[in-house]
A and B are shown apart, each in its own frame.
Chain A
C-alpha cells in the first residue's frame, strides 16, 4: 500500500497486520447453514479466537416431551437432525421398544435398516456437496441434490412426508413397502452409483479442492475423544467407533460393511470418510433388500402402542379400543430407565428416557452429537483463515436443529 498521508491518518500507529477486528459469522449467514453465531476475533485473515452463541432455535423438546404421550414424541425427533429424520424417528421407536420389551419381526429390522441407510446417504450427500459449495464448486451440489430428491421420494412412498418424516411406529411400520417403492428403490440402487462416482471424480482428487480442504480445521484423535466426538467426524480423526458395530441394533450384525477411518481429522478426511460411508450404506441397503425376510411389517405384540389401520377402527371393536387407548394415552408403560443409542448422520444419537409409568416420559434427554462436538470448533479454527473456518463448519455438518434441540 502506498504511503499517502490519508492512509497514515487512518491507521495511526499500527500497521495493517497489527489490527485486531471482530467479525460476526452468523447468526444468519450463508456459511453457517443454520442459525448460530460465531464471533471471530481476527487479525487480517487469521482467526485468533472465537466465541459461539447457540440456542437461536431452541424449541424445548425435552420439556415438550414431558407432556406428550409416547407416540407423539416421534415428530419431535424429526426436528433434531432434519437432514436425516428417519434415523432419529427410528432411534426413538427402538428406545420405546427397548423400554416395553418388544421384539420386532426381522422384516421390520431390515426395512428400518434400508430407510436409515438411505437417510445416512441423504445426510452425507448434503454435507459433502455443501463442502463443495463452500470451496466454490456448485456443480456437484446440484447433481447430488437430484439424488437426495430420489431418496426423499422413497420416504414419500413409505410415509407420505419428505423432510420431517415421522416414519414408522413403535413396533414397526404403518404399512409395508408399496410396489412403487420397490420400483423406485431398484432404480435408485441401479443409478445412484454412477451419479455418485461423477461427484466423487469432480472433487476427490481435484487439486484445487484438495489444496483448500487438506489441513483445514484438523483435530487429533485424542482431542476428538476428549471433546466427545462421534460419527464421521471422529472416524476422520482415526478412531473406528461406530454404534452400528459396537452395540448393534436393528440387526446390523447381519450385514457386512466396512468402517472407513481417516488419519488427519481435517476437512478433507471428513469429506473422504463421508464419501466412503455413502458407498458402505449402499452396500448395506443392497444386502438388506436382497435378503429381506418374509413376515409382518409390524409387531403384533404391541397393539396398545401401534395405531390400528383406520378402516379397522371403524369396523372392529378391538381396534377401536386400542385406538382410543393410544390417542388418550391410557397405555401402561413399565417404570424404568433406558439409554439407547443409534448411529445418526453425525454420530451417536442417544435417547435417555426415565419412565415413571405415566402416559408421558418423566424425563427424556437427547444426546445430540452436534451439540457436543460443536464446542470444539474454536479450537479447530484457531490460527486458521476465515475461509478455512467456513469449510470446517460445513464439514462438521453442524445442523442447527440438532444443536439447539
Chain B
C-alpha cells in the first residue's frame, strides 16, 4: 500500500486539469473535487488510466438538489476509490436545473448503468450517452423527479404543523 496523500492526489489532478478543477475540500478526510461538468467524464476516465493514482473502482453515483444555489442546483457526486492505493475521493459537478445534462460514464464503468438511471429517476439528471436512460425504481409514467426538494413528503397545504418546530 502506498502513502498517497490527498494533497498528492489533488496536485496531480490539478496539474492535468488545471482550471477545470473549480474547488477542493476535505470534509472528514475525503478529498472532494468540484470539476466543470463538461470535464467530469474526462477526469474519471483519466483517473482510471493514470499510472500513479489507479482510481479504478466506482463506488457510488448520486445526486443532490440545492434549490437556492442559482445556476448550479443539481449536484452529481461520484465516489471513486483506488483499490491499490486505498484512497477514496469524491468528484462532483454542479448542473443548472433547466438543463441538468452531463456525460454518462457507462463507457468507463459498466456498473454506472443502474446508478445513473437511479439518479435520473430521482433527480432528473440527464446522462448523455447512456444506453437506456429510463426510470428504474419508480414507475415509468411518473412525471416528476421525487427527490428534488420541491416535493415534500407531507401535504404542503397542511397548516396544523409548524415546520419551525418539526423540521423540513
- Given A64-B153, A247-B86, A98-B28 contact (CB < 8 Å): yes
Contact A359 B57 (CB under 8 A): no
- For the complex, is A360 an interface residue (Cβ under 8 Å from B)? yes
- For residue A195, CB closer than 8 A to chain B, the reply is no
Q: Contact mask B125-168 → A, CB, 8 Å, 1/0? A: 00000000000111100000011000101100000000001111
Q: Is A55 located at the chain interface by the 8 A CB criterion?
A: yes
B147–A350 touching, CB < 8 Å? no
Q: Is A363 located at the chain interface by the 8 A CB criterion? A: yes
Assembled-state Cα–Cα distance A374/B59 (Å):
14
With A67-B153, A225-B56, A328-B165 already in contact, the answer to whether A337 and B137 are too (CB < 8 A) is no
A337 touching B147 in the complex, CB below 8 Å, given contacts A54-B136, A247-B86, A360-B167: no
Kindly identify, within residues 1 to 57 of chain B, every residue whose CB is under 8 Å from any CB belonging to chain A.
27-28, 30, 32, 56-57
In Å, the complex CA distance between A372 and B151 comes to 26
Name the residue of chain A whose CB is nearest to the CB of B139: A55
What residue in chain B is nearest A353 (Cβ atoms)?
B28
A354 and B137 CA atoms in complex are apart in Å by 22
Whether A123 sits at the interface, judged by CB under 8 Å, is no
- Known contacts: A337-B32, A371-B114. The answer to whether A60 contacts B146 by CB under 8 A is yes
Number of A residues with CB within 8 Å of any CB on chain B? 48
Q: How far is the CB of B62 from chain A (nearest CB, A)?
A: 4
**Chain B's nearest CB lies how many Å from the CB of A399?**
15
Q: In whole angstroms, what is the CA distance A235 to B113 when docked? A: 22
Minimum CB–CB distance for B89 against chain A, Å? 10
A residues within 8 A CB of B139? 55
Q: Is the CB of A67 within 8 A of B114?
A: no
| Cβ contact of B64, chosen from A98, A339, A363, A371, cutoff 8 A | A363
Known contacts A228-B59, A371-B114: does B77 contact A352 (CB below 8 Å)?
yes
Q: A54 and B137 in contact (CB under 8 A), knowing A338-B27, A339-B30, A339-B90?
A: yes
**Bound state CA distance, A64 and B146, in angstroms?**
11
Task: Evaluate contact between A228 and B167: CB separation under 8 angstroms.
Answer: no
Q: How far is the CB of A249 from chain B (nearest CB, A)?
A: 13
Residues of A within 8 A of B58 (CB): 228
Say whether A339 contacts B111, CB under 8 Å: no
| Residues on A with beta carbons closer than 8 Å to the beta carbon of B120 | none
Contact for B137 among A66, A336, A367, A404, CB less than 8 A: A404
The 8 A CB mask of A97-114 against B (1 = contact, 0 = none) is 011000000000000000
How far, in angstroms, from A348 to B57 measured CA to CA in the complex?
A: 12
- Asked if B60 and A367 sit within 8 Å, CB to CB, the answer is yes
Q: Which residues of A contact B32 (CB under 8 A)?
A: 337
Pairwise interchain contact A226-B111, C-beta atoms closer than 8 A: yes
Which residues in B have their C-beta under 8 angstroms from that of A405? 137
Q: Given the complex, which residues of B lie within 8 Å of A226, measured CB to CB?
A: 109-111
| Smallest beta-carbon distance A261→chain B, Å | 14
> Is there contact, CB below 8 Å, between A337 and B28?
yes
Q: For chain A, what secondary structure do more than half of its interface residues adopt (helix, strand, loop), or is it mixed?
A: mixed
Residue numbers in B under 8 Å from A310 (CB-CB): none
Interface: B79 (CB within 8 A): yes
Q: Does B72 count as interface, using CB distance less than 8 angstroms? A: no
CB-based contact B60/A55 at 8 Å: no
Q: Does A383 contact B (CB under 8 A)?
A: no
Residue of B nearest to A354 (CB): B64
A69 on the interface (CB 8 Å rule)?
Answer: yes
Distance between A205 CB and nearest chain B CB, rounded to angstroms: 33
Nearest residue in A to B92 (C-beta to C-beta)? A337
A276 on the B face (CB < 8 A): no
In the complex, which residues 72-127 of chain B have their Cβ closer than 8 Å to any Cβ of chain A? 77, 79, 83, 86, 88, 90, 109-111, 113-115, 118, 122
Q: What are the nearest 9 A-B pairs in CB distance?
A: A228-B111, A55-B137, A227-B111, A58-B137, A365-B62, A359-B167, A337-B27, A375-B114, A367-B60
Q: Which residues of B contact A (CB under 8 A)?
A: 27-28, 30, 32, 56-60, 62, 64-65, 77, 79, 83, 86, 88, 90, 109-111, 113-115, 118, 122, 136-139, 146-147, 151, 153-154, 165-168
- 13 more contacts with CB within 8 A, not counting A55-B138, A247-B88, are A60-B146, A62-B122, A99-B28, A225-B57, A227-B110, A227-B111, A239-B83, A246-B86, A338-B30, A339-B79, A358-B168, A363-B62, A374-B114
- Chain A contacts to B: CB under 8 angstroms: 54-55, 58, 60, 62-64, 66-67, 69, 98-99, 223, 225-229, 239, 241, 246-247, 328-329, 336-339, 341, 348, 350, 352, 354, 358-360, 362-363, 365, 367, 371-376, 404-405
6 A-B residue pairs with CB within 8 Å: A67-B153, A228-B59, A246-B83, A367-B59, A375-B113, A404-B137
